[in-house]
Amino acid sequence: MESKSAEIAAEQEHFDLARKHRERLRTELSEAPDAAANAGAARWLVGFRRGRRDNLAPPEQEVAFGRVDQESDERYYIGRETILDDQRQVLVVNWKTPVGDLFYQATAEDPRGLTRKRTFSCDGNHILDFEDLVFQQLAQDIEVLEGPDAALLGELDRGRTGSMRDIVATIQAAQHRLIRFPLEHLLVIEGGPGTGKTAVALHRVSWLLYNHQDRLRPRDVLIVGPHPAFTRYIRAVLPGLGDGAVEQVDIDQLAPPVQRGRQEEPEVRRLKGEARMARLLSRALEARIGAPEPAERMLFDGRFLTLPGPEVAAAVAAARESAGPYAVRRQRLRTALATLVRDRGGPLEAERLPPVENLLERLWPLQSAPAFLRALFGSRNRLAAAAAGEFTDEELTLLHRRGADRLSEQVWSAADGPLLDELDDQINGTAGRYRHIVVDEAQDLSPMQLRAIGRRSSTGSLTIVGDLAQSTGAWARDSWEEVTEHLPKTLQVVVAGLRYGYRVPRQVYELAAQLLPLAAPGVEPARVVRDGPEDPGIHVVEPGERAGRATQIARDHLEAHRFVGIVCPAACRAELEFALHANDLPWARADQGGELDHAINLVSPQEAKGLEFDAVVVVEPEEIVAEDPRGHRLLFVALTRTIRYLDVVASGDPLPLESRKDVADRIPRQRKVVEPDPDPTVELSLLDRLAEDLTAMIAGGAPPAMWDEVLHRTAALLDERSGKERPKGRHHRG
């Protein structure tokens, strides 16, 4: 039998040959277009060639990651793209083809005509090793297929960066079934943290684009993520798979572009997300349509003309009852008024003349969504009229607010976005222009947000991705029906699960999963495929030491070249920022549009959704639990962001397992002003330390935003020392 190194050398020859032909193609595509029949055709050719060239894998990437051998003795290499030689012989087959499907789907029980599946490990296009599954052998030992193979484990252990990678080389059979699930469905992909939901959804897009080229072009697909940091994190995957032109946005971008930043109470967010808001807006908009005078007098070129009120009213009623958005029906009224004018001998071009325009504007005023919503929220009377008994007085009070003096100065909240979008749809209509939409982290979306997605779908074909155990915020969900009921109902809904947890190591998942009975009793825990390098570190510290300890741990990981995330609740944010500054560490914050850095990233538990890091430091779990009505779910999210290392730094309980209220009640609440506390029981050393901290802040010129938080922490410390015992965690390390 050939030695392995000889076989690797033979495979390398094939890889080199394929690479030569991929580069030949790149050169050909770069050359000027051949003569075309006309200038338009030449332009098309240039665009086509550029697109093809841009989608080619970069020169340094391996040409293939696998090989399948068929019983018929045919053998195919599987890669990110098909590569042909100059005789049009196939050197590598695209993973999205039926031959590619075999690579992922063949099992010992059902080898699908394969004798062997080979997986290569490479450094660039240089083969380091390969691993074979010989199906005949495996048929005798099916267990071998149950565990993760070496290629998958190798992939999972690779260090992370701020950018998600593709998983084409190691897609698992259960994942592949969802990737190629038929297009004409509303497919819900659910599964625990790190089961590959996001990866599967993105590869599904690539697979669908390849296999439905006749009806699905990249511009027909939209990907919606939960927040900008997530969109940045995933944005390189599809271009890497050769599908660069797919639009990827975060949910807040599905709205007219307005100035954002207004913060609102959870109850207001919840109310604004409800589906009945759509009806309120619709009634308010219809209420803007007016009634004519008993006789409408108009002046054309010095000649008066009178339209009888009842005829104008009939025209308004007909337009009102006709189908279509507000602006389209307004246009119908314009035509009807012009006809009435002409019938009475008025000018032929009446549509465009000021008297008709003025009457039209009075009866059916032009609207823009932001101006309309500002006026509606600013008027208690208008709100009450539009409520039509569907809203209580208290609810209307929550909606009522004084608008900015100028529209351009109006600052809108996140929950206003879908309302503006809904209004824009009611006024101008929305062309449902996407034939397939992927929605990630869909478990948190409000009905109004889901409606914004639904109206952009022209087919009802959607891939909805999420995990109910991670559902938090004003619209936390407990079932998928609560989500799908607000989406188009044209196609069959299928809920499919991913069960194997690829991200989170066993030791970390065992800690996090203790929260599940409390956080999401109905949700089945993921089956974890691998062990981590060590148990989670639990660090119970004094409140004043918390930021310092978290920073120190992050620094240690950084020095070991790990991509680090510090997941920190709002209450601890300022002290962490200060400690990171003071220690002069390179760090980035996800909420400021910055990239996730190759260093330390400070993220809130909400922003952490969908992200992952080599090492994660979770700060003060009790505060995280207190931060959200489903706080245990939020903590579950925070604890499951790591691919290898987890540290929890807490002055309270590092894993609070009581009700959220009990947890929240023991956290000292923020005090605005701190009086010097003369309590003699406060230890001198504590005061010394506080004095030191404050001196350091003054010397370091800490920004004003940090002071409030430090004072709050000071108050908490003093409260604590004056006798309020706080429960301590179970573990201690370092």
Ligand X SMILES: Nc1ncnc2c1ncn2[C@@H]1O[C@H](COP(=O)(O)OP(=O)(O)OP(=O)(O)O)[C@@H](O)[C@H]1O
CB of 83 to ligand X, least distance (A): 23
Pick the closer one to ligand X by CB: 463 or 551.
463
Please state at what angle helix 369-377 crosses helix 380-387, rounded to 10 degrees.
100
Distances (CA, A) of 418 to 247, 286, 398, 523, 701: 19, 19, 17, 29, 41
**Which residue type sits at 402?**
R
Please state whether beta strands 303-308 and 295-300 pair in parallel, antiparallel, or not at all (unpaired). Answer: antiparallel
Per DSSP, the three-state class of 171 is: coil
CB of 656 to ligand X, least distance (A): 21
Pick the closer one to ligand X by CB: 70 or 161.
161
Dihedral sign from CA coordinates of 220, 435, 250, 614? negative
The C-alpha atoms of residue 694 and residue 687 are separated, in whole angstroms, by: 10
Residue of minimal Cβ distance to ligand X: 196
CB of 152 to ligand X, least distance (A): 5
CB of 623 to ligand X, least distance (A): 21
Q: Locate 556 and state its tokens.
A: 């240690």
CB of 188 to ligand X, least distance (A): 13
Other beta carbons within 10 angstroms of residue 724's beta carbon come to 10
Other beta carbons within 10 angstroms of residue 49's beta carbon come to 17
Distances (CA, A) of 260 to 255, 368, 419, 654, 688: 11, 17, 13, 35, 43
Rg (CA), the chain: 31
The C-alpha atoms of residue 418 and residue 434 are separated, in whole angstroms, by: 18
Please provide the DSSP assignment of 596-651 as one string.
PPSSEEEE-TTTTTT--EEEEEEE-HHHHHHTSTTHHHHHHHHHT-EEEEEEEEES
CB of 170 to ligand X, least distance (A): 4
694 CB-near residues (< 8 Å, 6+ apart): 710, 714
Spatial CA neighbour of 199 closest among 229, 250, 163, 228: 163
Pick the closer one to ligand X by CB: 129 or 343.
129
195 is in an annotated binding site: yes
Pick the closer one to ligand X by CB: 457 or 470.
470
CB of 230 to ligand X, least distance (A): 9
Pick the closer one to ligand X by CB: 157 or 311.
157
Distances (CA, A) of 669 to 546, 630, 714: 18, 19, 12
CB of 148 to ligand X, least distance (A): 9
Other beta carbons within 10 angstroms of residue 392's beta carbon come to 10
58 is in an annotated binding site: no
Pick the closer one to ligand X by CB: 197 or 486.
197
346 is in an annotated binding site: no
335 is in an annotated binding site: no
SS3 content of the chain, % helix, strand, coil (to 5): 45, 15, 40
197 is in an annotated binding site: yes
The C-alpha atoms of residue 565 and residue 554 are separated, in whole angstroms, by: 8
Q: Locate 365 and state its tokens.
A: 């005023």
Q: Given its phi and psi angles, is residue 723 left (phi above 0), alpha (psi -120 to 50 degrees) or beta? A: left
642 is in an annotated binding site: no
CB of 637 to ligand X, least distance (A): 7
CB of 444 to ligand X, least distance (A): 12
Pick the closer one to ligand X by CB: 494 or 691.
494
Pick the closer one to ligand X by CB: 544 or 605.
605
198 is in an annotated binding site: yes
Residues at the site binding ligand X, with contacts judged by CB under 6 A: 152, 155-156, 167, 170-172, 175, 191, 193-199, 467, 470, 502-503, 610, 612
Distances (CA, A) of 702 to 255, 466, 592, 694: 37, 40, 19, 10
473 is in an annotated binding site: no
Pick the closer one to ligand X by CB: 427 or 567.
567
Pick the closer one to ligand X by CB: 172 or 461.
172
Pick the closer one to ligand X by CB: 61 or 339.
61
Contact criterion met (CB below 8 Å) for 275 and 452: no
CB of 10 to ligand X, least distance (A): 27
Binding-site sequence positions for ATP: 191-198
Binding-site sequence positions: 191-198
